[in-house]
Structure 1
C-alpha cells in the first residue's frame, strides 16, 4: 500500500506542476499568433528542450525499455532511429521550413504549391496522424495508473491526462505548451536517469543478480523467475518454451480447462486463455510470447532472417524520414525567430535525445533479469514502472517507483500536448476562422476524439503503434517537404498523388495488421513495417505525376524558393500568420517589409 501511495503522489505532483506551469504561461497568450506559433519568439535552447519534451513520448519512456526487454538487440534500432531522424531534419528541412513563413504544415503546402485543395488534404492527414499518435499516449497513461491502482480501470488515467492537456492548450495554446514541454523534458530526464543510476550502482555493488552471484545476459539460457511468481493472463497469449518447465495453472490452456500442475516440454508452443492464473516456482524458466527471443543468447544477438532484416531496414527508413513528417514536431520549428535558430534547435535536440535514450536501454536489460514475468503476459511496456520495486524492495524501491511514474506521466502529458496543439491549429485555421475562440473549440474536439478512441481501441505495444505513425508520416509528408524545399518542378497534383499512394498503402497495411492481430494471425514484416516499399512508392509517384503536370508548377516558385534558401539577414521572410491573423499594425509592418519575425 505504501508503494501505491508514493507512486500516486508522484503522479499527482507532476500533474499539478504541469497544470500550474501551463496556467502561468497561458497568461502571456492573448492573440491568434500566440496560440498558433508563440509569436515566433522561442529561442533555440528553450525550443530544443520543448521539442525533446514533446518528442519523448510514451514510446520512448516506456516502450523502448519494453522492446529491449522482449526483443533485445533488435530493439536498439528504435532509439537510434528516433534520434537520427533529427539529423535529416536539421540538414534538409528545418531552416527552409521556418523561412517559408508558414504556421502549420498544411499552410506550408499552400505557400509552396499554391493549392487550397492540397492544403485541405494535408489538413485531413495532420488530424489523422495526430489522433493515431495520441491514442497510445492516452492508453499508456491508463496502463501506468492501473499499474499502481489495480482496481482503477485504464480509462481513468487516459481521462486525467486528456483533461489536463485540454485545459493547458485551451488556456494558452503554443505559448503555454512551449514552457510546459521544456519543463517536462528535464523532469523526464531526471525521472529516468536517477533511478537507472541508483539501480546500476546497487547491481554492481551486489556483484550481479541473486544472492551476490554474477550473471550475464549473453548466456545461452532462457530468463528465469527470481522468486516464486503468480501471473494473471488478462488476454489470450501464445507462449513458447525452450526448456522443460513445470508450473501450476487455473484457467484455460490450449482451449482445455485446467486446474492443477502443468508440464510443458522444450520447444513447444501453447495458447493460454484469458483470465488464466499461472504460478511458477523460483528459478523456473520463463515462457515468452511466440516469436520473441526465448533465450538470452538469441536475445543478445540481432536477428538474421530475411523477414527480420526487411523489418529492420523498413523501420529505420520510417523513423529517419518520418520524423520530418510528424506535424507536432514540425510545428515547433515555426516558433523559432528565424531559420538559423531552427537549425540550432535541431542540433541541440540531437544532444538531448542521445542523452535520454541511454537510460531506457539499460532499464530494458535490467528488466530481463528482474521482471521476466512481463514476457509471459506481453505487457513489457510496464517494465520501467515495475522494475524499481522489484529491484529494491522497501522504501527505496517505492521512492524510485514514484519517480519513474512521475516521469511516465510527464511523457504522456507533454507529447499529448504537442499533438493536440498541432491538430487544434489545423482545425482552427482550416475548418474554422482562426480566431482564439475557434482555437479553443478545436482544442476540445482534438482532445476528446482521441480519448474516446483510446478507451474503445484494443491496446498494443506502444512503440509498434508509434512506429506505424512514423511510417505514415514518412510516406506522405516527407516527399512533399524534401521535394518542396529542393526541387522546383514539384506540382500540387504530384504532391496530392504522393499522399494518396503513400498514405493509402500505409493505411492498408495498418488495417491488415490490426485485423490479423485481433484474429490471432501472424503478420509478415512487409505489412507490419511497410515503409521500405511505401516511401519509395510515394516519392516515385510525386516525381512522375509532377513531370506529367508541368503546367501546375506555381508561377511564384522562384520567389518562394528564394525566400526559403536566402540567408536570414536579407529579411525576405514573410510571416503568413501575421498576414492571416495579425493586428492591423502588424499587417502594415509586413506590407512595408519591416516585419522580421
Structure 2
C-alpha cells in the first residue's frame, strides 16, 4: 500500500504541475518549444529528467545483475553522448531556428520530402523508446500493488498524455525538472541507507573486487553470453553515444532557450546532472547481485533490493520511495517522447496546428500503449538500445553532416536515412524473429550501430552529388556557426528575425 500511495502522490503532483503550465500553451511555438523562454538551469534539469528513463532507473541495475560489471558501459555511453551534443549539435541547432529535426532538415536541404521522411523516422525512434517506458510502469505498479500489468500501462499513458496535451512543452519542462529532483532524491537516499543497512559482509560481497565470479566481474559487456565482449562493448558505446545526438526529443529541448550560448550551457549542465545520477543505479545492481541474484524479472531488481536488505517497515518505506522514483522516470521520459512523437505526426507530416498537435499526442499514446501491452517479457534496455541504434544510424549522420559539411544534399540525406533506418530496424527484427546462435553475428544484429552508423554516413556522403549542391548551401551552413545568422544583405540578424 505504501508503494501505491507514493506512486499516486507522484501522479497527482505531476498532473498539478502540468496543468499549471496550461496557461502558456496557446500557439505552436508555446506547445513545442515553450516560446524559447526556459532558463538554462530549469532546462538542464528537464532534459536530465526526461533522459533518465526506465532504462536508467530499472534496466541498468537489472543488466548489472544479469550480465555483470560490463553493463556499466550503458551509463557511460548515455552520459558521454551529451559531450558530443554539447560540442557538435547544441549551438548550431539552436541557431537554425527549427523546432524539430525534420524542421532542420527542410531548412538545411530545402526539401519537403526529406522533412516528411524525417517525420516517419521520428515515429520509429519514439515508439521504440516509449514502449519500454509504459512497460516499466506496468511492471512496477504490478509489483508494488498487485494490480494487473495492463492497468499500469494504460494508466501511465492516460496521465502523461493528458498532461502534455493540455500544456505542451512548458508543462513538460516543469514536470520533468520536478521529476529529476524527485528521482535523484528517491533513488539516491534509499541507496545510501541500503549500503549502511546491508552490513559489512554483504557490503564486501557487493563492492569488494575479490571473490567475484571472473565472468561477472569482467569490465566488458558480453551481450547474451555471445563470447564477444569487445565487440559487444564497442557496439553499445557507439549506439548510446551517437544515438544521444539523434534523439528527437533531446534536440527539441535546445530550442526552448533564448540562444546558442544558452543551449551549450544546458548541454554541459546535463552532463553534470547525469554523471551524478548514474552513480546510484549501479549501487542497486551491485547490491542486487548479492541479495536478489536470480530475480524472475531483471527489470525490477531496483525495487526488490530494499525489501531483501531491510524486511519490515523500513524496507517497505524505502521500496515505496524507490517505486515512486522509478515511476517518475517513466512519466518524465514519456512526456518528452510524446511531444516529439506529436511533432512527427502533426507538425512535420500533416501541418502543425495546435489542435492537430494535441490529437497527435493522443494518437501516439494509443499506439505506444497498444504495443507495450504484449511487450511485458522484453528487457527494457533491449528496446531502448534499439531506439538509440536507429537514432545513431539516421539523425546522427544527418545532423553531423548537415551542420558541418556543406556538400550534403537532399538526395544524399534521403539515401542515408533509408539505409540507416532500414538496416537498424531490420537487424532488430531479425533478432526478434529468429533464434541465432550466440556469437559475433548475433551481437552485430542485436546491437547493429557499429556497422549501420558508418554505412549511413558513407551513403549520405557518396550519394551527395556535387552538382546537386544548392547555391545557398554555403550561406545556410554559415548561419549555423555564427553568433547570429546573416541575411543576404550581410546584416547580422537573430534567428527569430529571419524566421
- Residue 217 of structure 1, CA deviation: 5.8
Classify the secondary structure of the residue corresponding to 2:26: coil
2:123 to 124, 127, 141: 127
Worse-matched range after superposition: 298-307 or 470-479: 298-307
- Residue 132 of structure 1, CA deviation: 1.1
- Residue 96 of structure 1, CA deviation: 0.2
User: In the superposition, relative to structure 1, how do residues 420 and 215 fare at CA in structure 2: closer, same or farther (>3 Å)?
Assistant: closer
Q: 2:206 touches 2:289 (CA, 8 Å); kept in 1?
A: no
Q: Deviations over 1:95-124 (max 9, x none)?
A: 000000101110000000101111110000
More helix by share: 2
- Superposed, 1:308-347 pairs within 5 Å as 308-347=229-268
Whole-angstrom distance in 2 between the partners of 1:485 and 1:397: 51
1:104 to 76, 100, 115: 100
Whole-angstrom distance in 2 between the partners of 1:483 and 1:422: 22
Classify the secondary structure of the residue corresponding to 1:567: coil
Whole-angstrom distance in 1 between the partners of 2:450 and 2:207: 35
Q: 2:89 touches 2:399 (CA, 8 Å); kept in 1?
A: yes
Q: Deviations over 1:391-435 (max 9, x none)?
A: 111111111000001001100000011000011122221333322
Q: 1:143 touches 1:154 (CA, 8 Å); kept in 2?
A: yes
Whole-angstrom distance in 2 between the partners of 1:129 and 1:15: 26
Partner of 2:467: 551
Whole-angstrom distance in 1 between the partners of 2:244 and 2:371: 24
Q: Deviations over 1:222-280 (max 9, x none)?
A: xxxxxxxxxxxxxxxxxxxxxxxxxxxxxxxxxxxxxxxxxxxxxxxxxxxxxxxxxxx
Classify the secondary structure of the residue corresponding to 1:62: helix
- Superposed, 1:179-328 pairs within 5 Å as 179-203=174-198, 206-209=199-202, 218-220=209-211, 296-303=213-220, 307-328=228-249
Classify the secondary structure of the residue corresponding to 1:433: coil
- Residue 347 of structure 1, CA deviation: 0.2
Whole-angstrom distance in 2 between the partners of 1:522 and 1:420: 35
- Residue 511 of structure 1, CA deviation: 0.4
Whole-angstrom distance in 2 between the partners of 1:201 and 1:353: 24
Whole-angstrom distance in 1 between the partners of 2:414 and 2:461: 11
1:364 to 285, 299, 302: 285
- Residue 29 of structure 1, CA deviation: 1.6
Whole-angstrom distance in 2 between the partners of 1:127 and 1:215: 41
Whole-angstrom distance in 1 between the partners of 2:141 and 2:123: 27
Aligned residues: 488
- Superposed, 1:138-217 pairs within 5 Å as 138-150=134-146, 152-203=147-198, 206-209=199-202
Q: 1:308 touches 1:525 (CA, 8 Å); kept in 2?
A: no
Partner of 2:74: 78
Q: 2:102 touches 2:116 (CA, 8 Å); kept in 1?
A: yes
- Superposed, 1:436-515 pairs within 5 Å as 436-515=354-433
- Residue 325 of structure 1, CA deviation: 0.4
Whole-angstrom distance in 2 between the partners of 1:505 and 1:101: 31
Whole-angstrom distance in 2 between the partners of 1:94 and 1:72: 34
Q: 2:45 touches 2:176 (CA, 8 Å); kept in 1?
A: yes
User: In the superposition, relative to structure 1, how do residues 535 and 214 fare at CA in structure 2: closer, same or farther (>3 Å)?
Assistant: closer
User: In the superposition, relative to structure 1, how do residues 363 and 457 fare at CA in structure 2: closer, same or farther (>3 Å)?
Assistant: closer
The structure with the larger Rg is 1
Classify the secondary structure of the residue corresponding to 2:271: helix
Q: 1:89 touches 1:324 (CA, 8 Å); kept in 2?
A: yes
- Output the aligned Cα RMSD: 1.9
Q: 2:95 touches 2:259 (CA, 8 Å); kept in 1?
A: yes
1:46 aligns with 2:39: no
Q: Deviations over 1:5-58 (max 9, x none)?
A: 110011101011100100111122211210011001112111000000000000
User: In the superposition, relative to structure 1, how do residues 433 and 505 fare at CA in structure 2: closer, same or farther (>3 Å)?
Assistant: closer
Q: Deviations over 1:146-186 (max 9, x none)?
A: 11133x22111011110011111111111211111111110
Partner of 2:312: 394
More strand by share: 1
1:16 aligns with 2:9: no
- Residue 520 of structure 1, CA deviation: 8.2
Q: 1:338 touches 1:568 (CA, 8 Å); kept in 2?
A: no
- Residue 557 of structure 1, CA deviation: 1.5
Classify the secondary structure of the residue corresponding to 1:400: helix
1:409 aligns with 2:315: no
Q: 1:58 touches 1:411 (CA, 8 Å); kept in 2?
A: yes
Whole-angstrom distance in 2 between the partners of 1:326 and 1:301: 30
Q: 1:101 touches 1:573 (CA, 8 Å); kept in 2?
A: no
User: In the superposition, relative to structure 1, how do residues 354 and 102 fare at CA in structure 2: closer, same or farther (>3 Å)?
Assistant: same
TM-score (norm 1): 0.79
2:482 to 558, 566, 582: 566
- Superposed, 1:422-437 pairs within 5 Å as 422-437=340-355
Structure 1: tracts of 5 or more residues without a match: 222-295, 576-589
- Residue 568 of structure 1, CA deviation: 4.1
Classify the secondary structure of the residue corresponding to 2:99: coil
